[in-house]
Structure 1
């Protein structure tokens, strides 16, 4: 299972606009992508394509999250880039 870590860069964390942008990109993946706070067991990860899940995660600026793909084909690099960009400024 491919896995990448990312540090949240948006000033408001993964809330509202950044969550919507990220969820849309994750939803375009050909395989399921999950997200969790670093240190959280993989079985407790949330659906990265769900805005509600992203907001429930409560990730703030500077928090480290883990992205996991359920199989091959997900572009985790582009998803990491989104998380490490201040989407509030875009």
Structure 2
């Protein structure tokens, strides 16, 4: 299991279209993917879970990835969140 704290740089945050793109990217990996914000942890492969966090640009989140392709998944998802 890998985890990394990141600051959301994608504009306007992980809402609407960027959230859908993130979920699509997360679902392309076999690993489990979670996002933690404060005391909440959601399955990042669920658009409803992701939208429930209302993540805006500049907020800190922790990405948690666990599975066979966790390194590749974490690298790709961090890059997306950081707007790279």
Same fold, TM-score > 0.5, yes or no: yes
In the alignment, does 2:67 pair up with 1:68?
no
Partner residue of 2:51?
Answer: 55
In the alignment, does 2:7 pair up with 1:7?
yes
| Mapping 1:1-90, distance limit 5 Å | 1-37=1-37, 39-40=38-39, 44-74=40-70, 75-85=73-83
**TM-score normalised by the chain length of structure 2:** 0.86
Asked if structure 2 preserves the Cα contact closer than 8 Å seen for 1:2 and 1:71, the reply is: no
Instruction: Find runs of 4+ consecutive structure 1 residues off by over 4 angstroms.
Output: none
Q: Please state which structure has a larger fraction of its residues in strand.
A: 2
Unpaired segments of 5 or more residues in structure 2? none
Unpaired segments of 5 or more residues in structure 1? none
CA offsets, 1:20-46, max 9 Å, x none?
Answer: 110001011111110111x43xxx410
**TM-score normalised by the chain length of structure 1:** 0.81
Asked if structure 1 preserves the Cα contact closer than 8 Å seen for 2:30 and 2:67, the reply is: no
Pairwise CA RMSD: 1.6
How many residue pairs match? The answer is 82
